[in-house]
Amino acid sequence: KFSRLAVDPSDPEKLYVGWRWGLWGLDLQRPDASLPFRPYIASSDDGGVTWAESTDLLAAATGEEGYGGSAALPVVGPDGTVYAFSKESVQSPPEGQTRPPSRLLMFKSTDEGETWASSVADDGARPFDIAVPSVDPDTGDLYLVYGAREATGDDDPPSPSNVYFTMSSDDGATWSEPIDITDDDPSRTGDQYLPGISVAPNGRIDVAWYDFRNDPFYSPEGVEGMGNTVGQRYWDVYYSYSDDTGATWSPNVRITKTFVDGAEGVTFANSDTRGPMGIASSDGAAHFAWSDSRPTGRTGDAEDAYFTRARFSAASSPASATGDDSPWAWAVVGAGAALALAGLALFVGVRRSKSTVER
């Protein structure tokens, strides 16, 4: 789950893919213990024609150890160094003891994945979701974004999730203090999470995420039939960027022009297929893609893949965006695709906008 592909910028034939391996159920060797998920990675030297044997990073790496972990999310620096990040899974403590926080583990290889060393990128004091990495194509600076909550007591309601950014300029040896890049009204307590990150060739850092700040029916007690979302239903895509390696961030920009109903489709309500927001960068624009349930009208679980972009002027500010709900033209993608998901067929179409909406 949550597989990710990374390309070596110095050798486009060198690929790395990371994922999470595991089975729901019990470890047959230890019937009383849950079988943990493990972060795996594999590499290819020929553009994906053939692949080396996959590697369990927790088993192969020297340094920090872990019981289990989320999918390995790799990036490759300009010098060919490979980094992969995984949220640690911790073993359930004995009754009466407190579960330790899940740390963010970084795995690093300087020999194209032959050997790995592990270290802690975040101690997990602030509970977080998936941490998504990126790297500056010139300097090799490492960037991480994730949704995180302030820690609360066992009997207290969870604090809202915000989007945090941290960076390292020494190959992951040390990390900056995470900063919250969201600017919504804190009294609304709406969540922001699962950000995606991309770095433009000119060094601009682009981040986009799921955002519930505009939910008109926010309910802290929860919404029936909403899977594992808590108290929120209507979401938007929001965006911010930085021109100074993450020291300061632009005001948040609403990318969707109408919120999306999370009770429709499958992304939130049915099978919960959420993942980090899709984003890619060029010097002149930030490009966004997400799964959107607006066309379903509660008639089924079909969703469309939506795309838009924020264009930048010479002064490096978003001048306009290609509107996601402006007139659409269908782009033919093969004969279409059908994904079997929870016994249902999910048909995904890709749309292309014909007009530009000024921001």
Q: What is the pLDDT of residues 217-250, one digit of tens each?
A: 776 555 554 433 456 778 899 999 999 999 999 9
* Mean pLDDT of the region 323-351: 31
- pLDDT value at residue 26: 45
- pLDDT value at residue 273: 64
Backbone phi, psi, residue 96, to 5° = 95, -10
CA dihedral sign, ordered 65, 69, 71, 73: negative
Number of neighbouring beta carbons within 10 Å of residue 155: 5
Mean pLDDT of the chain: 79
Number of neighbouring beta carbons within 10 Å of residue 154: 5
Of 93-107, 235-249, 255-269, 282-296, give the lowest mean pLDDT range. 255-269
DSSP H or E run through 57: helix 57-60
d(CA 241, CA 248): 9
Using only the alpha carbons of the chain, give its radius of gyration: 21
How remote is the C-alpha of 245 from its chain's centroid? 19
pLDDT beyond 70 at 135: yes
- pLDDT value at residue 96: 82
Give the global pTM.
Answer: 0.81
Q: What confidence tens digit (pLDDT) does each residue in 254-278 have?
A: 999 888 887 777 666 555 567 789 9
- pLDDT value at residue 245: 96
- pLDDT value at residue 191: 87
pLDDT beyond 50 at 345: no
Contact 160, 224 (CB under 8 A): no
Using DSSP's 3-state secondary structure scheme, residue 42 falls into strand
Tell me which of 2 and 170 has the higher pLDDT: 170
* Mean pLDDT of the region 114-126: 91
- pLDDT value at residue 316: 58
Tell me which of 352 and 249 has the higher pLDDT: 249
Backbone phi, psi, residue 278, to 5° = -80, 125
Tell me which of 286 and 90 has the higher pLDDT: 286
pLDDT beyond 60 at 341: no
User: Nearest Cα to 118, choosing from 174, 44, 60, 178?
Assistant: 60
CA dihedral 172, 1, 182, 175 (to 10 degrees): -10
